[in-house]
Amino acid sequence: MKKQTSALHDTIIIVIITLVAGVILGAVHEVTAGPIAEQEAATQAAAQKEVFPDADSFSEVTDFNSDSFTTVLEGQGLDQTTVNAVYEADGSDGSKLGYVVDSTNNEGYGGEVELMVGITVGDSGYVINGISFLSLSETAGMGMKAEDPDFKDQFNNMDIGDAGSISYTKSGKSAANEIDAISGCTITTNAVTKAVNGALAAVTYLEEG
């Protein structure tokens, strides 16, 4: 009888501890959810402005469906790439200047490579204004070099015309739509290239149907 009472006592204590822990975790989530969301929004806004500094405001293209666009990406060999959202970049007068695209590729050495890409649409084709990383967990001193100006700045004002996509080279770029790979980091270079190509595919889809 004493053993049964002790077991019941222990069970009640465990239940109470579990309930209290659940309440505490719920309270912590409520307290931190707001600041985390605000920080994420601030990071996104800063990235948008970095890749499209001439824009006065950014509005999400609500009729762009990321899920249905997966088929388009797969058809272009970008099955490990996801376009998370597309934003219209507008001038102070409300006119459309171009787009900012949030794109992710899952083939990085350290996992996901997520970035913002600013793209201007002109009469002669597309110009990549630049890129800004939202998530990059590559190896320090290796893949993390993607954030170094020597690599990242290659995307600044990159006029690719009507090429539609970019590629990378390890032997010195010879075309407007090429970038030099990070030395010894082909995997990271490939992930960044595919994320940018996903963004270009989204803009082409919206502009040309």
Look at residue 12 in the predicted model and tell me its pLDDT: 77
Question: Distance between CA atoms of 86 and 116, rounded to whole angstroms?
Answer: 10
Look at residue 8 in the predicted model and tell me its pLDDT: 64
Q: Would you give the distance in Å from CA 127 to the centre of its chain?
A: 19
pTM score of the predicted model:
0.82
- Quick one: average pLDDT of 145-151? 97
Look at residue 22 in the predicted model and tell me its pLDDT: 67
Look at residue 40 in the predicted model and tell me its pLDDT: 65
CB-based burial of residue 50 (10 Å sphere; 0-12 exposed, 13-18 middle, 19+ buried)? middle
Would 174 be classed as within a structural domain?
A: yes
Per the DSSP assignment, residues forming a β-bridge with 131 are: 117
The residue among 5 and 193 whose pLDDT is bigger is: 193
Look at residue 191 in the predicted model and tell me its pLDDT: 98
Would 24 be classed as within a structural domain?
A: no
Look at residue 74 in the predicted model and tell me its pLDDT: 96
Q: Which residues contact 153 (CB under 8 A, 6 or more apart)?
A: 130
pLDDT band at 42 (very low <50, low <70, confident <90, very high): confident
Would 57 be classed as within a structural domain?
A: yes
Picking from 106, 107, 108, 126, the residue whose alpha carbon sits closest to that of residue 117 is 126
Would 26 be classed as within a structural domain?
A: no
Count the domains in the chain. 1
Would 47 be classed as within a structural domain?
A: no
Q: 79: which DSSP letter?
A: T
Look at residue 192 in the predicted model and tell me its pLDDT: 98
> What percent of the chain shows pLDDT beyond 90?
74
Q: Give yes or no for residue 2 having a pLDDT over 60.
A: no
User: Please, what is the angle between helix 186-208 and helix 66-75, to 10°?
Assistant: 110
Look at residue 29 in the predicted model and tell me its pLDDT: 58
Q: Would you give the distance in Å from CA 136 to the centre of its chain?
A: 9
Q: Give yes or no for residue 33 having a pLDDT over 60.
A: no
Would 120 be classed as within a structural domain?
A: yes
Would 177 be classed as within a structural domain?
A: yes
Strands 158-161 and 125-136: antiparallel
Domain that residue 67 falls in: 52-208
Residue range 65-80, pLDDT digits in tens: 989 899 999 999 999 9
Residue range 158-204, pLDDT digits in tens: 999 999 999 999 999 999 999 999 999 999 999 999 999 999 999 99
Structure tokens at 202: 């989204």
Structure tokens at 206: 């919206």
CB atoms within 10 A of CB 148: 10
Look at residue 14 in the predicted model and tell me its pLDDT: 79
Q: 94: which DSSP letter?
A: S
Would 8 be classed as within a structural domain?
A: no
Look at residue 30 in the predicted model and tell me its pLDDT: 66
Look at residue 27 in the predicted model and tell me its pLDDT: 64
Handedness of CA 209, 49, 146, 136 (dihedral sign): negative
Question: Distance between CA atoms of 207 and 122, rounded to whole angstroms?
Answer: 11
